[in-house]
């Protein structure tokens, strides 16, 4: 069993990870249906339905700590690198801006 890594990430970061690893993946990289990904989907489902800018801004900036396995972290890193390359698009900024440094150094 993989070691658990606590990752601090914003809700916007979660949305970006799910966009690349789940929505745009289209089955090219397997293993994105683990508990960590399901937890991210649950957190994103809490998005306010209001159109109020302040409320939405606070939601997207909210930081959460996700307990992810090392395998999930490497899977996310792979998705954020491979999927844009397969689609011939620039790498998402989340790889550098939102992803905690201690995770990338494993």
43-58 per-position pLDDT tens digit: 999 999 988 899 999 9
Tokens matching residue 13: 């970061």
Q: Which residue has the tokens 């801006």?
A: 97
Q: What CA–CA distance (Å, rounded) separates 75 from 52?
A: 35
Domain that holds residue 12: 4-104
User: Three-class SS of residue 25?
Assistant: coil
Helix, strand, coil percentages in the chain from 3-state DSSP, rounded to 5: 55, 15, 30
Q: pTM of this prediction?
A: 0.81
User: Is residue 67 within 8 Å of 17, Cβ to Cβ?
Assistant: no
**Total tally of structural domains belonging to the chain:** 1
Q: Mind listing the pLDDT tens digit for each residue in 7-34?
A: 889 999 999 999 988 888 888 888 888 9
Q: Mind listing the pLDDT tens digit for each residue in 53-104?
A: 999 999 999 999 999 888 888 888 888 888 888 888 887 777 654 454 454 4
């Amino acid at each position: 069993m993989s070691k658990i890594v606590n990752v601090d990430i914003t809700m916007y970061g979660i949305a970006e990870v799910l966009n690349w690893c789940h929505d745009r993946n289209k089955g090219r990289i397997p293993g994105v249906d683990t508990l960590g990904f399901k937890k991210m989907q649950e957190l994103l489902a809490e998005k306010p339905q209001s159109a109020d800018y302040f409320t939405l801004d606070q939601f997207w900036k909210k930081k959460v700590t996700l307990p992810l396995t090392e395998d999930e972290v490497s899977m996310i890193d792979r998705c954020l690198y491979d999927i844009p390359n397969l689609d011939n698009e620039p790498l998402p900024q989340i790889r550098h801006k939102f992803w905690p440094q201690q995770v990338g150094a494993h």
